[in-house]
Amino acid sequence: MIERYALPEIAEIFSDQSKFSRYLEIELLATEAQAKLGVVSQADAQTCRAKAPLVDDTFVRSVAERELITDHDVAAFVDVVQAAIGMPAGAWIHHGLTSTDVVDTAWCWMLKDGAELILGAMNELIAKLQELAQLHSDTVMIGRTHGIHAEPTTFGAKVALWALQVDRDRSRMRSAREAIAVCKLSGAVGTYSNISPDVEAHVAKSLGLVAVPATQVVARDRHAEFLWACASLGSTIEAIAIELRHLQRTEVNEVREGFRAGQKGSSAMPHKRNPISAETLTGLSRVLRSNLQTGLQNVALWHERDISHSSAERIVLPDSAMLAYYVTKRLTKVLSNLEVDTQRMLENVSSSFGVVFSQPVLLALVDSGLSRDEAYRIVQEDAALAWSKRQQLREVLENDSRVKLSSKQLNDAFDLRRSLVYTNKTLDAAARITHL
């Protein structure tokens, strides 16, 4: 992941130092488990722990240099660790294991930790959405379908729906965390032929993972589920971002991203305040969805293993985790600084000459005895006339001899409060979201 979108707290999880530190801990735990079983002497296991190398930049470079000879990254790692510990104790490192025992368990451990960070960021986002929804529970705005004025709603109800969708993505991420938080140390084809299942159980318990049956590799549907959770979250964030982009258009101008002192919206046009964060979120969501395709293709491997998945996973797994975290934090920041122009929202409701009340007028005419089609045609014609003459729909209706509605019936049909009386149902649903 390029540094621009790699926040340090999650980038550290997938760093080379972190990866090799996890490899080392898995190896040491496996050695200690084998000591309990009598395969390795307690003295040698203690020596391995005591003399285990510090995983720092020097260690990472040493592994890279050794890999130039072995052309195998895990073998290079094992060689460097064994050399640091020394013989004879060092010989027990990687005893009975195959590379993917270590690599897959480390991947699952890293992804579990990554999911925890993402879930924490999602909690913050949901809390911000709940706060914003309540703040604007009575902020009237026009609802749009197909980009066209439809009927009034509230900005709070819109935001509440976002909160509910992010909450569903949180459930998906929790499920993915459980699916990926597994451990596999069962040897070359997963038969435990050279290592006891008790070793796997010990390592799993020590790392807070679950030991699962496997071939030489952990089944990749688990990783695909994690990538799906990241992609789904990204798509939800894109949906919110696109709405924010539309609402920031000059002709709409109902919300605006925060603009810091000294910030520049355009290198050429000083007046510009562009929706750069929302546009960035849209673009990064595309990457998350693309990575999911790779994850799905990685599910089908040859026999008990091949490494066609490995090279791709080195990119898509950390990148998706980091991007999912980044876009969640970025959207929370956008919403924290969002400027909501409540007056402009009201102006836009009124800008379409009251035609947005066409449905209650239609229903009132049906109640008065007209057929639905007849009532529909009357309101349709009068709404078109209101637009063309730039005249309020109510005035056009009052001058239409076909419309036999009393002032009270028209008042009720054009009553804004009637349109919004049940928006609290959506707000209440969002307010009930918990952060456990």
Report which of 134, 231, 168, 39 is spatially closest to residue 428, judged by C-alpha positions: 134
Contact of 103 with 309, CB cutoff 8 Å: no
HSE value, Cβ hemisphere, 13 Å, CA-based, for 200: 26
Three-state DSSP state, 22: helix
Three-state DSSP state, 256: strand
DSSP per residue, 263-286? --S-SS-TT----HHHHHHHHHHH
Q: What gap in Å lies between CA 236 and CA 240, rounded to an integer?
A: 6
Three-state DSSP state, 4: helix
Which is the catalytic residue, given 72, 171, 193, 266? 266
Q: Is the dihedral of CA 292, 298, 300, 304 positive or negative?
A: negative
Is 15 marked active-site? no
Cα 400 → chain centroid: 53
Which is the catalytic residue, given 146, 271, 401, 407? 146
Contact of 93 with 82, CB cutoff 8 Å: yes
Q: What gap in Å lies between CA 415 and CA 97, rounded to an integer?
A: 73
Is 193 marked active-site? no
- CA triplet 300, 305, 308: central angle to 5 degrees? 60
* Catalytic residue numbers, as ranges: 146, 266
